[in-house]
Amino acid sequence: MANSTHDASPSVKTPEQFTREAKTFYTDLAASSYSGPMEYVEKWLGPGKTTYGSDFPFNREKNTARELSFLHSWIYKNGEEGKAVMRQTALDLFPRLKAQIETARDTDKVLLMENASTSSGESDMSGEQIV
């Protein structure tokens, strides 16, 4: 593709420029988690530039299940970088979303701790302690 683009117009980037810039891309494996696309993405970008979304319910459930089976073996093969495909790479791409998720998680922890501390000494309707 890079060569045909360059041949069509000399003002377009050279194949080397295109390839260098293309390595900054990120990709999503939605509905393409099987050997052909995964091998290409792995060679071209690597797992560190890859995210996963199932596209469910738009993708059939049985296709999603089959893709996930392949994806799990691919993740295992790629270690921590492979695991990042499922969550961390996307969070790193969207730092504001990551901050919102962390804030929500911290808020939930505080609420759970407050709820646990107020419910540890139950009382009846009159406010008297139940023993």
Mean pLDDT by 10 residues, the chain (131 residues): 56 85 82 72 80 71 77 84 84 91 85 74 54 47
Give the pLDDT confidence score for residue 127 in this predicted structure.
55
Predicted confidence at residue 23, as pLDDT, reads 81
Does residue 27 sit in the same domain as residue 67? yes
98, containing H or E segment = helix 95-119
Do residue 18 and residue 76 come from a single domain? yes
| pLDDT at residue 123 in the model | 53
User: What is the span of the domain harbouring residue 120?
Assistant: 98-131
CA pseudo-torsion sign 113, 117, 122, 125? negative
> Which pLDDT does position 131 carry in this prediction?
47
* CA distances to 15, 37, 117 from 2, in Å: 5, 18, 63
- Shared-domain flag, residues 14 and 73: yes
Chain CA centroid to CA 119, Å = 37
Whether residues 44 and 76 fall in one domain: yes
CA dihedral sign, ordered 5, 7, 8, 14: positive
pLDDT at 122: 54
Same domain? For 74 and 102 the reply is: no
Confidence (pLDDT) at 96? 94
Contact 45, 25 (CB under 8 A): yes
Which among 76, 95, 96 has a CA at the least distance from the CA of 86? 76
- The verdict on 87 and 49 lying in the same domain is yes
Predicted TM-score (pTM) of the model is 0.56
Amino acid identity, position 129: Q
